Structure 1
Amino acid sequence: MSRISSLKLSLALSALALLAACAQPAKHLDYTAFKHAHPRSILVLPPDNTTTDVNASNSVLSQMTMPLAEAGYYVIPVAVMEETFKQNGVTTAGDIQQTSPAKLREIFGADAVLYSTISQYGTQYRVLVSATVVTASAKLVDLKSGDVLWQGAATANSEEGNNNGGGGLIGMLVMAAVKQIANSLTDKSHDIAGITSYRLLHAGAPTGLLYGPRSPKYGTD
């Protein structure tokens, strides 16, 4: 078998494995603590950025408020949160996330706090494809009890649904390189971060947040 044929077979097997994984039924979360706490307001802290892109945390943070507001929650304004910590000499996400739940509730008066981590952010060149990927995880913690009410993870990439089979091997290699340069120049990561943020923080079972009291769907899930 030629090297090209072996490569095509490997790609086909990878695609089948991905489809098989997607076909698995979604796990249902235990919402008992969430329903007991019934939070009305949420404080969103800057995401802990484990990637090498210094823009990742601000990019994702700027797009987390909308899906939470659409889910029916009052979200403490990000600018207020950042300025409050800045005035107290705390500026990094890691240090901010070390603040105790009791102190966060005392300062901001929120019912719950959202902690998050970014594990992928940016354009990646992988031989035959160049994709912009953003992956993040989060957990919602009750500021009264310290209990974890919900946790989840999400990812999005610029190549979802694209067909890269045309143009031959050389064409695919060239296209991957071109996309990497274009995505880097146009800050494609910020756009993909918006998709990831929505997927991560949307409301609705079996894995999303429960609807908040400002949503017409409150109490239906």
Structure 2
Amino acid sequence: MAGEKIIPTWHGIPRKDIPWYPTVDSETCIGCTLCYTTCGRNVYEMQENKAVAVNPLNCMVGCSTCATVCPVQAISFPDRDLIWKLEREHKIFKVVRQEAKEKMAKQEAAKARALAEDAIASLVIRTHMEVAGEFGEKRFLIQLEELIKGRPFDFINLCLRVPTVQGAMEKTPSFLSFDVTSTEQEDIQTFLSEVRELIRRNGLTLVSENKI
């Protein structure tokens, strides 16, 4: 982890010009590793059971969490007046406001993207249906064909299973499965209502319906 760098500047100020970093008193340090595990910027390494700030400029300007959690107060930082003085001298708030606008714009874009993804996820563009009943004299497949004529929908993967040919002739219930889909990647939920109604009118049973 030694040598890993985080940011070259802090709100436009070169990070090397900001003397904000931890100082570890090696004689006081008990090697508890709290600073090492708490810091998310790879500032520390443990060497001979002591914390060493190997990447001091990785430290987030103004952060002193490691010093706060150190149980023996082995870590110290410069006075915070240093940061306030830098803010005034470099007049960073013009830069900060621009950074805030950019951050807000990214957040709004992320929200819009999430809403769009949710809207897409809620669309139903393909559904698998399973229907049971007697199909022979009902001309059900022809009615399905008529239902989609001139419309952006289709029935695919049709599979009709009958117990026996003789059984089908004697009106033994058969099993039909198919997928309802949009040919233009549009929502099919309203159309599905028509398919269900067609199934009902033919005295068939909708066994299952599952979005794909």
Task: Give the TM bin, normalised by the shorter chain.
Answer: under 0.3
TM-score, length-scaled by structure 1: 0.22
Using the size of structure 2 for normalisation, the TM-score is 0.22
